[in-house]
Chain A
Amino acid sequence: MKKSARVAIAALALLAAPTVLAGCSDSGGAAPDSGPKALSIATMTLPQSLDPKDATGSALPFFQAVYDTLVKREPDGSYSPMLATEWKYNDDLTELALTLRSGVTFDDGTPFDAEAVKANMERFRKGGGAQAKTLNDVKAIKVVDATHVTLELAQPNPAMLFYLSDAAGLMANPADFTKGDALKTKPSGTGPYDLDQNLTFIGTRWTFTRAPGYWGAKLPYDTVTISFFDNETAIVNGLKTGQINAALIQDADQQISAESDPKVKTVKQEFDFQGLVLFDRAGAVTPEMRDPRVRQALNHAIDRKTMLEKIRQSRGAITNQVFGTSTAAYKPELDAYYSYDPAKARELLKEAGHSGGFTLKLPRIAAIVSDALAASLQADLGAVGVKLVWEDVDAGSAIKRIFTDRAFSGLVMNIGQSSTDWVVVGELVLPGAFNMFGYTDDTVKELLPKIQGRDAQAAKAELQALNEHLVKDGWFVPFYRMTYLHVSDGSVTITPQDGMAVPSIYNYAPAK
């Protein structure tokens, strides 16, 4: 094997020889925009379009380049003024008054004002985009005057400011709303950059150039290029050879590869947790799931320590809770609530009347559930009598099989841990995608209203109680929080964004 590879290489070296020189002499010219003021970011997220109504959290950097949000989310998760300079809730948290920045105009001279905010938000809410639901609680948008607007909420929503710093807060030029699908490929906002149509190949490479006369502080780079890749191997290779300045690497093996290069700089961030989300707590698909003891047994059956060590190569931290470390609900001791104890798991199953075991069918999305994860879960659950059957689902059919057909009791996936408690509650506890059967119980029903009406810090006790209940009742089977690696080729300092896997476009600066 080795020898034959060498033969092949030798033959290729011969073949490549004449062009090598050309390649060398031109290494500078090959990347004309790699000066100190250009930034090249790699991503594995493909935005559906650059129309804000289609925006999603993971594609946010694309939008941040062209559009500004009403509220800016700082790297530590705090909010600061952007297009809105001030905001204030009324006492029962059902009205949010925004003061808008004056003197900001879109490229064609259209002023940014309260009417623009109203037009944007109403379009977003009805636009049928993936994030449209985040404005579900907004009952009405009242224009007070040119620089004041008030959001009337149907019920308190502690995550509203987060949403305004996210997709729902992106402000596009209302003049473009009448031009059909123009915004999809020709975005127009008040943001720090413009999309350079000549150097942009949608679907593969987007080039943003500095917008003349940007109202705010200039970002350090004249041009920002975001390139799409479908595998991390290419990204890491590109980082090592300097064609890419910055990227996020999730895969443990690729992280090792990136770290092996002395030039590459890395910053760690724990964002996603990996685990089994059990939707079927009412036992609609797998009746056995109805019993909390069964769900607890699953939690006891898996050997998280070995999984973390072997699958993530110890890059992460074991957890039993779905709330992230920066939330109010987080309780450190809950990370190790369930010990690896197959005997106890068998015991619990026996108590629940399932000593004979049962079959659990789960969808397998190859990108998330690696061979090792699939096999080890099968082995661990098998050891306590639960027969785990994987059904392979394609990228194309996964969402339909899981969310429309509701064919499974749960789903192994990676879920981002927002630092906003209510975002977590909304995603995982309230009826919705990850609680598709709308399951709830008395404890949850009792705690939710107390949480919803208040600021997270104020409701800390209730949030922690909720978290503890979810863990002990076995709502989920979390495995571990995964360490992601922000890597740069050494020329860029990357500041991770709290509550988001990909850094905001504002978080890159030339390394000193």
Chain B
Amino acid sequence: MSESAPAGAPAPPPAPPPAALGPARRTGAVRLLLRHPLGLASGAVLAAVVLAVLLAPVLSPAEPGVSSLRDAFGGPAAGHPLGFDSAGRDIVARLLHGGRNTLGGAVIALVVALALGVPSGLLAGYYGGWFDSAASWAVNLVMALPAMVVLLASRAILGPTVWVLMVVLGFLVAPAFFRLVRGIVASVRNELYVDAAKVSGLRDRRIVARHVLIVVRAPIIIQVALVSGIAIGLQAGLEFLGIGSGDTPTWGAMLNEAFKNIQRAPLLMLWPGLALGLTSGALVLLAAALRDVLEDRGAAPAARRRRTGPTTITAPRSAGACAGLLSVRDLAVSYALPGGGEREVVHGVDLDVRAGEIVGLVGESGSGKTQTAFSILGILPEGGRVCRGSVTVEGEEIVGMPERRHRELRGNVVAYVPQEPMSNLDPAFTIGSQLVEPMRCKLRISKAEATRRALELLRLVEIADPRRTFASYPHEISGGMAQRVLIAGAMSCDPRLLIADEPTTALDVRVQAEVLGLLRRLQRERDLGVLLVTHNLGVVADLCDRVAVMKQGRIVETGTAEQVLHAPQDPYTRKLLGAVLDHVPARRPWQPSNAEVS
């Protein structure tokens, strides 16, 4: 087990960015945490508490155990800024020293829980097999143990000290860490970068230390904050039940003592209550902030309110001026930054799609193609907004349009085919219900009618056994099938314009060709306008009538597919064309990943 000395292992520098985690975690989590207002505040409170408690012997004017009954219940006096408790002991001294024991106890519980839970969780998750079975069984056992009986019995056996209780508590909460770590490790075990690490001959020990630990680090830190809060709260609760710490001063003991004198001196509750509440509150907040920062959940942006920032609609055009299906003029998209302010990622894009035409929007990833597509659909992620320009669909201005009206356009007029087929289907519903739902909603047809149409659509997208697929869950079908299902979904409400965002990149080459053929067929049969977002110039050559090349948020070149592919004007386009010749698949093909079922 020595190989997995967990949390202490230094973070190895440049590990390949794991897909499961946001990019933010690498760029100075501590700095981000400091910029997180709640994180900063709770961190500061905790730091102050810990410091005060550590310096108790220096800070405290009196000994926590020294009692002068004559002073009992006395108010603040010289050298005793908070006065005295029911036994005439100095409250400041008891708070500080009590904090030592309370927090020390929580640390012990944590150390025990981590020492038991993390290594076993790593091993069980990484190797599986008999160890996994045995450890999981043991964990089930610990979790089923009646905690109260175990706590009381251990206290009777080992003596009534706060330390014993906290060690036992650590033992009882260890399963939480085990389960957490085991679950995460098992799910990343087969991920690409671990595989790659294995191929390149790293030993298991290094893999665990380098790659696996990084993944579990953030959840463990969060769990640590929560468990310490629980330990502190539980200790106070036990004290109240008379299962306390004996003579050792703790915040729980202080609170319990205050409770016993609540009629005589209700204010005695204040200080230990405040200390307890503040500390566990800060821990919870810190956990939430850590989660936001480490798991990139974003600090509850007030973006929704700020979205009403200035949006300049470029001089409204008359319907006749843009006869096309889609017309984008001077579109700019910006994102709110966590620290305030905005960053523009799309700068003044012009684009047109006519009915029956396939237009390719080409560029490297990060060039703003997808942002452009999302703004046409009105589904920019939170924090993003159209800050300038005009988008018309069938002559109707979309920028500044009320959300309700815009929603009516989605599906019926503009439809969307996403990039990753698997992640774009809701895993909890059958394919059929995911097809039927929008049709019933948008077209207001009966369930039977919608079912009939869904089956028809599945046939339309060349699925061999529509009934079976209809009844399947997403994890039961292949990636190519899923993409066909998504295309069927996009087609379900007879849209005029299809926005396809890299519809084939996640598929292997043979399926790619089939899906592209399908798109082409649909476009012809139904006279669709298609905006095809892609980085793949081969696809463009196959499919597109016209092409717009995008770089760093700007369109650098537009023209017919012929022109752009054969006589590129812009050096960037030429570079892109050069890259295609290398025939390196830009992204790994999608693989069914239903091996892990927790």
Which A residues fall within an 8 A CB radius of B? 1, 4, 251-254, 256-257, 260, 303, 306-307, 310-311, 313, 364, 366-367, 370-376, 378-380, 390, 392, 394, 396-397
From residue B250, how far is it (CB to closest CB) to chain A in Å?
Answer: 12
Are A253 and B262 in touch, CB under 8 angstroms?
yes
Partner of A370, one of B244, B260, B274: B260
Partner of A256, one of B87, B257, B264: B264
A sample of 19 more A-B contacts (CB under 8 A), given A372-B86, A392-B247, is A1-B277, A253-B264, A256-B264, A303-B69, A306-B69, A310-B69, A310-B73, A370-B257, A370-B260, A372-B69, A374-B87, A375-B67, A376-B88, A378-B65, A379-B66, A380-B69, A390-B246, A392-B246, A394-B160
Which B residues fall within an 8 A CB radius of A? 65-70, 72-73, 85-89, 155-156, 159-160, 242, 244, 246-247, 253, 257, 260-264, 270, 273-274, 277
What residues of B have a CB within 8 angstroms of the CB of A374 in the complex?
87, 247
Are B277 and A366 in touch, CB under 8 angstroms?
no
From residue B164, how far is it (CB to closest CB) to chain A in Å?
Answer: 12
Partner of B86, one of A254, A310, A394: A310
Closest Cβ neighbor of A370 among chain B residues: B260
What residues of B have a CB within 8 angstroms of the CB of A397 in the complex?
156
What residues of B have a CB within 8 angstroms of the CB of A366 in the complex?
242, 244
Closest Cβ neighbor of A376 among chain B residues: B69
Alpha-carbon separation in the docked complex, A364 to B67 (Å): 17
Alpha-carbon separation in the docked complex, A322 to B72 (Å): 27
Are B156 and A375 in touch, CB under 8 angstroms?
no
Alpha-carbon separation in the docked complex, A376 to B73 (Å): 13
Q: A396-B156, A397-B156 are in contact. Are A310 and B263 (CB under 8 A)?
A: no
Q: A306-B69, A375-B89, A378-B67 are in contact. Are A253 and B261 (CB under 8 A)?
A: yes
Are B247 and A390 in touch, CB under 8 angstroms?
yes
Q: A4-B277, A253-B264 are in contact. Are A375 and B69 (CB under 8 A)?
A: yes
Are A375 and B65 in touch, CB under 8 angstroms?
yes
Are B87 and A306 in touch, CB under 8 angstroms?
no
Alpha-carbon separation in the docked complex, A364 to B88 (Å): 19
Chain B contact residues, majority secondary structure:
loop
Alpha-carbon separation in the docked complex, A364 to B450 (Å): 77
Are B263 and A260 in touch, CB under 8 angstroms?
yes
What residues of B have a CB within 8 angstroms of the CB of A311 in the complex?
69, 86
Are A1 and B73 in touch, CB under 8 angstroms?
no
Are A367 and B242 in touch, CB under 8 angstroms?
yes
Alpha-carbon separation in the docked complex, A1 to B280 (Å): 13
What residues of B have a CB within 8 angstroms of the CB of A376 in the complex?
67, 69, 72, 87-88
Alpha-carbon separation in the docked complex, A307 to B68 (Å): 10
Q: A366-B242, A367-B242, A392-B160 are in contact. Are A379 and B69 (CB under 8 A)?
A: yes
Are B70 and A306 in touch, CB under 8 angstroms?
yes
From residue B481, how far is it (CB to closest CB) to chain A in Å?
Answer: 47
7 examples of A-B residue contacts, CB within 8 angstroms: A253-B264, A306-B69, A310-B73, A372-B69, A372-B87, A376-B69, A376-B72
Closest Cβ neighbor of B277 among chain A residues: A1
Alpha-carbon separation in the docked complex, A252 to B72 (Å): 15
Closest Cβ neighbor of B259 among chain A residues: A233
Alpha-carbon separation in the docked complex, A396 to B153 (Å): 11
Closest Cβ neighbor of B274 among chain A residues: A1
What residues of A have a CB within 8 angstroms of the CB of B263 in the complex?
253-254, 256-257, 260
Closest Cβ neighbor of B86 among chain A residues: A372
Are B257 and A371 in touch, CB under 8 angstroms?
yes
Are B66 and A310 in touch, CB under 8 angstroms?
no
Are B68 and A379 in touch, CB under 8 angstroms?
yes
What residues of B have a CB within 8 angstroms of the CB of A371 in the complex?
85-87, 253, 257, 260
Q: Which residue among A307, A366, A371 has the maximum number of chain B CB atoms within 10 Å of its CB? A: A371
Partner of B270, one of A1, A256, A373, A396: A1
What residues of B have a CB within 8 angstroms of the CB of A373 in the complex?
87
Partner of B87, one of A1, A4, A303, A375: A375
Alpha-carbon separation in the docked complex, A394 to B161 (Å): 12
Alpha-carbon separation in the docked complex, A256 to B264 (Å): 8
Q: Which residue among B89, B155, B247 has the maximum number of chain A CB atoms within 10 Å of its CB? A: B247
Closest Cβ neighbor of B253 among chain A residues: A371
From residue B558, how far is it (CB to closest CB) to chain A in Å?
Answer: 58
From residue B113, how far is it (CB to closest CB) to chain A in Å?
Answer: 26
From residue A311, how far is it (CB to closest CB) to chain B in Å?
Answer: 8
Are B67 and A1 in touch, CB under 8 angstroms?
no
Alpha-carbon separation in the docked complex, A366 to B86 (Å): 15
From residue A408, how far is it (CB to closest CB) to chain B in Å?
Answer: 16
Are A372 and B72 in touch, CB under 8 angstroms?
yes
From residue B152, how far is it (CB to closest CB) to chain A in Å?
Answer: 9
Alpha-carbon separation in the docked complex, A366 to B70 (Å): 22
What residues of A have a CB within 8 angstroms of the CB of B70 in the complex?
303, 306, 310
Closest Cβ neighbor of A251 among chain B residues: B260
Alpha-carbon separation in the docked complex, A93 to B69 (Å): 50
From residue A232, how far is it (CB to closest CB) to chain B in Å?
Answer: 10
Alpha-carbon separation in the docked complex, A367 to B247 (Å): 14
What residues of B have a CB within 8 angstroms of the CB of A390 in the complex?
246-247
Alpha-carbon separation in the docked complex, A372 to B89 (Å): 9
What residues of A have a CB within 8 angstroms of the CB of B273 in the complex?
1
Closest Cβ neighbor of A252 among chain B residues: B264
Closest Cβ neighbor of B72 among chain A residues: A310
Are B69 and A307 in touch, CB under 8 angstroms?
yes
What residues of B have a CB within 8 angstroms of the CB of A392 in the complex?
159-160, 246-247
What residues of A have a CB within 8 angstroms of the CB of B65 in the complex?
375, 378
What residues of B have a CB within 8 angstroms of the CB of A364 in the complex?
246
From residue B580, how far is it (CB to closest CB) to chain A in Å?
Answer: 60
What residues of B have a CB within 8 angstroms of the CB of A310 in the complex?
69-70, 72-73, 86, 88
What residues of A have a CB within 8 angstroms of the CB of B67 in the complex?
372, 375-376, 378-379
What residues of A have a CB within 8 angstroms of the CB of B73 in the complex?
310
Closest Cβ neighbor of B246 among chain A residues: A392
Are B155 and A253 in touch, CB under 8 angstroms?
no
Are A253 and B72 in touch, CB under 8 angstroms?
no
What residues of B have a CB within 8 angstroms of the CB of A303 in the complex?
69-70
Alpha-carbon separation in the docked complex, A394 to B67 (Å): 24
The 4 closest A-B pairs by CB, nearest first: A375-B67, A376-B69, A375-B87, A372-B87
Alpha-carbon separation in the docked complex, A4 to B270 (Å): 13
What residues of A have a CB within 8 angstroms of the CB of B85 in the complex?
371
What residues of A have a CB within 8 angstroms of the CB of B246 in the complex?
364, 390, 392
What residues of A have a CB within 8 angstroms of the CB of B244 in the complex?
366
From residue A400, how far is it (CB to closest CB) to chain B in Å?
Answer: 11
From residue A87, how far is it (CB to closest CB) to chain B in Å?
Answer: 45
Alpha-carbon separation in the docked complex, A254 to B262 (Å): 9
From residue B415, how far is it (CB to closest CB) to chain A in Å?
Answer: 43
Alpha-carbon separation in the docked complex, A373 to B89 (Å): 12
What residues of B have a CB within 8 angstroms of the CB of A257 in the complex?
262-263
Alpha-carbon separation in the docked complex, A161 to B262 (Å): 43
Alpha-carbon separation in the docked complex, A373 to B257 (Å): 12
Closest Cβ neighbor of A395 among chain B residues: B242
Closest Cβ neighbor of B262 among chain A residues: A253
What residues of A have a CB within 8 angstroms of the CB of B242 in the complex?
366-367
From residue A274, how far is it (CB to closest CB) to chain B in Å?
Answer: 14
From residue A374, how far is it (CB to closest CB) to chain B in Å?
Answer: 7
Alpha-carbon separation in the docked complex, A310 to B257 (Å): 14
What residues of A have a CB within 8 angstroms of the CB of B69 in the complex?
303, 306-307, 310-311, 372, 375-376, 379-380
Alpha-carbon separation in the docked complex, A204 to B567 (Å): 93
From residue B588, how far is it (CB to closest CB) to chain A in Å?
Answer: 49
Are B156 and A394 in touch, CB under 8 angstroms?
yes
What residues of A have a CB within 8 angstroms of the CB of B156 in the complex?
394, 396-397
Alpha-carbon separation in the docked complex, A141 to B348 (Å): 114
Alpha-carbon separation in the docked complex, A209 to B349 (Å): 90
What residues of A have a CB within 8 angstroms of the CB of B159 in the complex?
392
Are B155 and A394 in touch, CB under 8 angstroms?
yes
What residues of B have a CB within 8 angstroms of the CB of A367 in the complex?
242
What residues of B have a CB within 8 angstroms of the CB of A307 in the complex?
69
